[in-house]
Amino acid sequence: MPILRQQFTDKRNSFSASHFLPGYGKCERLHGHNYQVEVLLEYQSPVATNSIDFKLLNQIIREEISPLNQKVLLPKDSAQIQIAPTADGKNWKVLYGEKEYSFPKQDVSILEGLDKTTSENLAIYMHKRLVNRLKQAFPEKISKMTIKISETENNHAIYTNEVK
């Protein structure tokens, strides 16, 4: 069977979010990006035609990025950032150095498995989130997936790994 590679880019596969990055100079301040998510799949097909349902794939991508859209992204596993509920339980209290933030819980996505919310880590996070969904939607077809997360037109991170 031929191995096919398909890149899936859709302007709707984007999200806007804010974050801050301890130890990264000006990026230590709370700031935001309009992220674009692109997916490149490597898969086998009995014929040299598209055997991946683009519409379903893009729907899955949008469902996985939806919880990040219009949110403050916080890394759950950071040694530098402490996250705790406020006394009334309505907000997340976030401490970093001498800074203290309070965000409404519904405006925050706490990302498990991340120590920083860099584009590189977001690409790995998104890969992990999509792998399970794509294995269910397209069993035994996808062998490798690349995720590209762009935070600006010129700045992006790319992560490639096998789909097991």
Q: Where are the domains of the chain?
A: 3-73+113-162
Domain range 3-73+113-162, CATH class: alpha beta
The predicted pLDDT at position 36 comes to 95
The predicted pLDDT at position 3 comes to 67
Largest CA distance in the chain: 60
The predicted pLDDT at position 52 comes to 76
CA dihedral 61, 133, 104, 16 (to 10 degrees): -20
Distance CA 38, CA 7 (A): 7
For residue 102, the cross-strand partners are 93
14-19 and 71-75: which strand pairing?
A: parallel
Residue 58, number of CB atoms within 10 A of its CB:
16
The answer to whether 55 and 46 are in contact (CB under 8 A) is no
The predicted pLDDT at position 83 comes to 98
The predicted pLDDT at position 45 comes to 67
Helix and strand totals (H; E) in the chain: 2, 10
The predicted pLDDT at position 27 comes to 93
Nearest alpha-carbon partner for 120 in 54, 21, 45: 21
From first to last of the 164 residues of the chain, give the pLDDT tens digit.
556 666 667 778 999 999 999 999 999 999 999 999 999 988 876 665 556 788 888 999 999 999 999 999 999 999 999 999 999 999 999 999 999 999 999 999 999 999 999 999 999 999 999 998 988 888 767 889 999 999 998 999 999 999 88
pTM above 0.75, yes or no: yes
The predicted pLDDT at position 141 comes to 76
Residue 61, number of CB atoms within 10 A of its CB:
24
Q: How far is CA 40 from CA 46, 76, 92, in A?
A: 19, 28, 35
